[in-house]
Amino acid sequence: MKVSPNSTALHQNRNPNVGELGEKLVAEWLKNKGWTILHHRWRCPWGEIDVIALKMRHEEWGGVSGEREAGSGGNSPLLRQLDPIIAFVEIKTRSRKNWDEDGRLAVTPRKQAKIRQTAELFLADYPDAATVNCRFDVAIVNCQRLSPNLRGAVTSYVIQSTPVELGKPVQVAGYQLILQDYIDSAFE
């Protein structure tokens, strides 16, 4: 797995944008979970959405004994494709001992309204997506600067951990990142 920030400023500046590093970490985690990343940092006059992702949902509905899934040699459950879903993901990257409960308090009702308005403009720009079920998720990423001894050894801007897992530390660009929590349908 390779995730490299698309911002050239990251390579020009010795202090990477930790918010963008957290967003890339979450995007990689979503890809590992079967999501397709449609946009990263989608902007419009109302604001920005950190990540917009699409997933084709499937449901097992179990085969009756003797029924077989096409192409399988056994009695595996059948899959039924459900409607796709789009997730508008707000990502909060925070260091320890922060004031806002790792970013949870920063997703205020006002911020939620702004994200909803931005999502509405996205759907207006992409009418085919307007018929897809949508939800608003929040991801919480913990970020700690590595000690000077380790920092020099971890200068790559590429996330090397395979795969990104909830609660598992990843070292990138002199930081340790941990996807602490992913909240599906955090608000409506």
Classify residue 2: in a domain, yes or no: no
Which residues contact residue 153 at a Cβ distance below 8 angstroms, ignoring those fewer than 6 apart?
A: none
pLDDT average, residue stretch 139-143: 96
Token pair in block for residue 61 = 């509905």
State the CB neighbour count (10 A cutoff) for residue 72.
11
Q: What is the pLDDT of residues 26-56, one digit of tens each?
A: 999 999 999 999 999 999 998 999 999 999 9
Taking all residues of the chain, what is their mean pLDDT, rounded to a whole number? Answer: 82
- For residue 7, the model assigns a pLDDT of 38
Classify residue 171: in a domain, yes or no: yes
Tell me how many domains the chain contains.
1
Classify residue 130: in a domain, yes or no: yes
Range of the domain at 79: 8-187
State the CB neighbour count (10 A cutoff) for residue 95.
12
pLDDT average, residue stretch 164-186: 94
Residue type, 59: E
131: domain CATH number is 3.40.1350.10
What is the Cα–Cα distance from 149 to 174, expressed in whole angstroms? 10
Q: What is the pLDDT of residues 94-134, one digit of tens each?
A: 988 777 887 888 999 999 999 999 999 999 999 999 999 99
- For residue 79, the model assigns a pLDDT of 66
What is the Cα–Cα distance from 97 to 147, expressed in whole angstroms? 17
Classify residue 1: in a domain, yes or no: no
Give which of 143, 176, 147, 137 is closest to 159, Cα–Cα: 176
Confidence class for position 77, pLDDT limits 50, 70, 90: low
Give the rounded percent of residues in the chain with a pLDDT score beyond 90: 59
- 44: alpha, beta or left? (left if phi > 0; alpha if psi -120 to 50): beta
